[in-house]
Chain A
């Protein structure tokens, strides 16, 4: 039994962290988030050169062939740095492609995803809080898709959209390429400006089916849940770190505010919840990789738990900063907004918990 990161994994995290510190400080985060697309091709190329876009892509297609845990460690660092761009979208689409076992699709798309030249996303959720494969309404007939996906991460930018839809035989996955006939993408203004969303509609849009049944959809969703949990954890840790430093330097009543027990105790409570949470999403990622019968429940529980905590941490961190924390100029709201995305996307905490209860047979 071993429940810790390998040396390679620690190195992977450190490499990404140092690179993001140098290349993506919050000044750059802000300029990207205020841009039209919320995507910086130069930053994306840099991440691709680091290998971040191809972590889970098999070596035969130009990737590293690593596990979801490794992707999650990257997500943690991106969450900590509040890195803007289609990382989550691309990672979920990659997980969906891999789960499809469609060799032709792998050949056609995975090399471009690994090299960063292709931006892919996953179109899963639908209106009325539909996140489950059995409730999908987007419908395939005669190799075309019709219907609407109201909130697709980087849906307006993606070269490739992996669409969860249904046909006469039930749910499955289809591929739609940018510019396809009847495809309309409309960028939407999101609260989290570092992960853009778009509404995507299909009107007899040509599509290639790559998977039948709900298993591949669930697999991609569970990967997304784990990555959201990792992102949320990284963001929470960063907010606590910022607040800790602030409490040591900000003086009131002639002393650092961190000398007051009220402040100490709020900080201690946050870190007390944060630390055990690490193990929860580590394990969820490990289960996705190695322990299939635990993967689905743990992904749901980790996402619900970690994003709930992210909400509390960003609130308390802002409160402890006082007025400065509530300003646009100070960076905390970047994470506050990111926490909103992590909580809402792929189902609320309650949705995921109730699903975990169903899965337990309770």
Chain B
């Protein structure tokens, strides 16, 4: 076990700082557009202009971004090292430099293409995705296929060298902005339900696609309904074989749960909460001096540290090729509960200030914690609702009998 920041890491930090000083100036940072609300929530800097792209490419060449993606696909192919990753994230934040593109493309699709894609798909799509030139949305859920995703009904019929796709997707995040969708489509209607699905890559400007934004409880519209009517998709845009889409999608979902299970969002919210609790006064004293708030804060800090260190443990296990077993199944459920409890304490620290919404200048911390409070409910549901996670943990992790399924 070795987790101390040794001289090697201090040297690494100095190198990163030097790189940033030479490649990303304060003027560069100031020249960018403001980040949108979701990007601000997740800490993503979404600049994809030429300057940002050139910078990202330089950072990839130096081994600082996309460290888990092989060089030949446009990543920097570095050994997994959470301490270095932490140093990079801290220094990037300090310099307001363009970080890795967040979201479902780099986090979910890229690992899936690395695992199951064709050479052509990897060559044309991965690098452009990593640089933010292709934005992706995920076409999984349907109005009648939520937790029971494999019951999905959107149909794909092969017509010459094209799939003709008809159906409807829902809760599709970023569908308005995305150029491509990775989708699950029923192509083998006679097969048992899990064996009749294929994984298709669909360009969003294909005729027959109608995106209708949905407004979520936060008031924003980050997800949509997507209607597909006689959408013609080149036959080569299948990932994996016909009828194997479910297996391919499992690897994507695993990455989504890892994305949602990652505690970095919770860390940012927690650090913001501490700062706010020091700044806001209750009865003439900083809120953080209230023993009840202090106690809750420290209870949450232990859970947050447990989530972060658990990530280190899982990374170490995977670097050693050890099976993570049940330990690898719990991060999503753990961190979504934690996100809720952190944002709930933030609401209590704000007290009556919590009545004010994001966008209201008088709101404490610009009202971002109220939005985080609502988002904590969103991430509880996204990527497999909490009770589905509990079933998976109990059935696959603890060996309980499987629920009856039809």
Contacts and interface: CB of A to CB of B under 8 A. Distances in A.
B330 A248 contact: no
A283 B3 CA distance: 8
Contacts of A271: 326, 330, 393, 397-398
B397 A6 contact: no
A247 B400 contact: yes
Contacts of A269: 333, 390
A149 interface: no
Contact of A258 (B83, B312, B400): B400
B147 interface: no
B387 interface: yes
B334 A6 contact: no
A362 B390 contact: no
A6 B394 CA distance: 29
Contact of A255 (B274, B307, B391, B401): B401
B307 A4 contact: no
A248 B390 CA distance: 17
A1 B2 contact: yes
B82 A353 contact: no
A73 B84 CA distance: 28
B2 A2 contact: yes
A278 B310 contact: yes
Contact of B306 (A256, A264, A277): A277
Interface string A327-362: 000000000000000000000011001101100001
A282 interface: yes
Contacts of B77: none
B31 interface: no
A69 interface: yes
Contact of A4 (B299, B317, B331, B397): B317
Interface residues of B, number: 52
Contacts of A6: 1
B281 to A, nearest CB: 14
Interface string B287-308: 0100100110111011101110
B215 interface: no
Given A3-B312, A272-B393, A354 B298 contact: yes
Given A261-B391, A279-B310, A301 B305 contact: yes
Contacts of B2: 1-2, 290
Interface residues of A, number: 48
A3 B1 contact: yes
A12 to B, nearest CB: 13
Given A3-B312, A271-B393, A280-B305, A256 B401 contact: yes
Contact of A265 (B288, B387, B399): B387
A8 to B, nearest CB: 11
A276 B299 contact: no
B81 A1 contact: yes
Nearest to A1: B83
B251 interface: no
Interface string B366-406: 00000000000000000000010111011101111101000
A357 B399 contact: no
B54 interface: no
Given A3-B313, A279-B306, A244 B278 contact: no
Nearest to A298: B305
Contacts of B288: 357, 362
A265 B400 CA distance: 11
Nearest to A308: B299
A286 interface: yes
Given A276-B307, A357-B294, A4 B313 contact: yes
Q: Counting chain A CB atoms within 10 Å of each CB, which of B82, B301, B307 scores highest?
A: B301
Contacts of A258: 394, 398, 400-401
A170 B301 CA distance: 33
B3 A248 contact: no
Given A6-B1, A269-B390, A271-B398, A283 B297 contact: no
A15 to B, nearest CB: 19
Nearest to B395: A264
B401 A267 contact: no
B74 to A, nearest CB: 25
Given A268-B333, A276-B330, A353-B299, A4 B316 contact: yes
A278 B313 contact: yes
A4 B330 contact: no
B29 to A, nearest CB: 29
Contacts of B274: 362
B315 interface: yes
Contacts of B320: 4
A259 interface: yes
B399 A291 contact: no
B4 interface: yes
7 contacts: A3-B312, A4-B320, A6-B1, A258-B400, A272-B334, A305-B306, A357-B288
What are the 4 A-B residue pairs with the smallest beta carbon separation, nearest first?
A279-B309, A264-B394, A353-B298, A276-B310
Interface of A: 1-6, 69, 244, 247-248, 255-256, 258-259, 261, 263-265, 267-269, 271-273, 275-280, 282-283, 286, 290-291, 298, 301-302, 304-305, 308, 349-350, 353-354, 356-357, 362
Given A258-B400, A271-B326, A272-B334, 9 more contacts: A1-B2, A1-B312, A2-B1, A259-B401, A265-B394, A275-B310, A276-B303, A356-B301, A362-B288
